[in-house]
Amino acid sequence: MKMNLLNLKNAFAIVALIASTGLVSCGGGGSTSGSDSTASASGNDDALIGAGSSFDNPLFSKQFSEYNKTSGLKVNYQSVGSGAGISQLTNKTVDFGASDAPMNGKQDSALTAPAIHIPVTAGAVVLSYNLPDVKDTLQLSPDVLAGIFLGTITKWNDPKIAATNKGVKLPSTGIVIAHRSDGSGTSNIFTTYLAKVSTDWNTKVGHGSSVNWPVGLGGKGNEGVAGLIKQTPGAIGYIELAYAIQNSMPYAKMQNKAGNFITPSIASVTAAANIQIPPDSKVSLTNTDAADGYPISGFSWVIIYKEQNYNNRPSDRATKLVKLISWMIHDGQQFSGALNYAPLSPAAVSVGDSILKSATFDGKPILQ
């Protein structure tokens, strides 16, 4: 049964693959059938294939086109969503997956061989709001945020909100909550944060890429949530930092674990990642210990198989893949800032390096 489900996703993946490679390239992709997964991952086509997080897509597009200029390597990335990326990696239809959340236990157990996570960039989720009469930047504490999203704080002039916004004249408008309706890594980071700071949230709602929201309206994608916020007076919702900056939407300062109110920015996200990172890099940056770190941020990972010799892949392909990822976490980081992604912290880069060195081909390390 699991196989059937996977096949279905597989079929979707193939459709997406055909759609993205287009009719121009009549290489391996088009002729692949749902059950025969080897052809697309190790076909005669030279391009590496990746799939996953849509959050990473703008950065990846830039990085891959720059890398192509120096190395001539083509990378075909399909931004189908983190979950779909992981299932395509599980089916071995892609060379690498990209995800905004590390693989969970169930996803791990579906794998036939161990996979490794390499952090490639970091992003943040910001709280944008629509209060036309409030000129100052709103400051939110974790308790207040959880209260708003649980539906216990319903008016903007609630004393709890006023407590962290002294001197700001808050209207008596009702709070309208906007959340993502589609499953997404953004929701995952946001609900993980809420679950960490509020026991109520953790027991009533929990965390995941789709949760049962106690209150609020759902919008599809960042643009859907942003649309709801822009249109509805009194609305508050969460969107990606990059999206908020590009669309010049107002966003709140969040109080972090150290008690400081932090403006979300590329610098404060990088700062959030400058903590002790476990050797497998599977860490959530939410509610970071860093004193100047923005608390609702998270890594995005590239996921590959630890043993690269599978499906009769040539060793050359594995080397190209590992070199590409190594370039992404070093030289590739220079393109982050311009696209409003947070560059990796030094701690993250060194962990990423040591993880990449553990990738093998036939048991031999690929990177020396």
Partner 1 sequence: MDTSAKNGVITRSDLPLRVINSTPETISRAQKKVRRSFRQIRTETVFRRTLTIMGLIMIILVLGILLTLIIQSLPSIKSLGLKYLWGKVWDPVQDIYGAWPFLLGTLLSSFLALIISIPFSLAVAIFLGEYYPKGWMPDFLKNAVELIAAVPSVIYGFWGLAVLVPIVRNLENHIGVEPVGVGIFSSSLILAIMIIPYAASLGRSMIQMVPSPLKEAAYGLGATRWEVIRSVVLPYTKSGLFAGILLSLGRALGETMAVTMVIGNTSLIPKNIFAPGNTMASVIANEFTEADKPVYLSALIELGLVLFLVTVVINLIGKKIIDRFTNE
Q: Which is nearer to partner 1, 14 or 324 (CB)?
A: 14
CB nearer partner 1, residue 212 or residue 276: 212
212 near partner 1, judged by CB under 8 A = yes
- Residue 119 as a binder of partner 1 (CB under 8 A): the answer is no
DSSP state string for 121-135: EEEEEEEEE--TT--
Q: Are strands 297-305 and 115-129 parallel, antiparallel or unpaired?
A: antiparallel
Q: Are strands 176-180 and 217-219 parallel, antiparallel or unpaired?
A: parallel
Instruction: Look at residue 244 and give its three-state secondary structure.
Output: helix
Distance in Å, CB of 51 to partner 1, minimum: 11
Segment 220 to 259, residues that bind partner 1, using CB under 8 A: 220, 224, 227-228, 231-232
Span near partner 1 by CB under 8 A; candidates 206-214, 282-290, 300-308, 347-355: 206-214
Which residues touch 298 (CB under 8 Å, ≥6 apart)? 100, 101, 122, 123, 124, 125, 185, 188, 189, 192, 284, 285, 286
Question: What span, in angstroms and rounded, lies between the C-alpha atoms of 148 and 23?
Answer: 49
Cα 335 from chain centre? 17
Query: Cα angle at 357 between 280 and 322, to 5 degrees?
Result: 105
Q: Are strands 235-240 and 176-180 parallel, antiparallel or unpaired?
A: parallel
Rule CB under 8 A: say whether 218 interacts with partner 1: yes
Instruction: Using CB under 8 A, count the residues that bind partner 1.
Output: 42
Q: Which one, 110 or 170, has the nearer CB to partner 1?
A: 110
Residue 106 touches partner 1, criterion: CB under 8 A: yes
Cβ 271 to partner 1 shortest distance, Å: 29
> Which of 14, 176, 324, 329 is the binder for partner 1 (CB under 8 A)?
176
Member of 94, 146, 211, 342 binding partner 1 (CB under 8 A): 211
The binding track of 146-175 with respect to partner 1, each residue x by CB under 8 A or -, is ----------------------------x-
> Which CB sits closer to partner 1, 51 or 321?
51
Applying the rule CB under 8 A, the residues between 36 and 95 that interact with partner 1 are 80-84, 86-87
Q: Which of 107, 139, 256, 297 binds partner 1 (CB under 8 A)?
A: 107
Listed in sequence order, the DSSP H helices in the chain are 2-21, 28-31, 38-42, 57-71, 82-90, 105-110, 142-150, 159-163, 185-197, 199-204, 221-231, 241-246, 266-272, 315-329, 346-357
- Contact by Cβ (8 Å): 237, 187: no
- Concatenated DSSP letters of 304-338: EESB---TT--HHHHHHHHHHHHHHHTGGGGGTGG
Binding of residue 328 to partner 1 (CB under 8 A): no
Contacts with partner 1 by CB under 8 A lie at 1-2, 4-5, 8-9, 80-84, 86-87, 104, 106-107, 174, 176, 181-184, 205-213, 215-220, 224, 227-228, 231-232
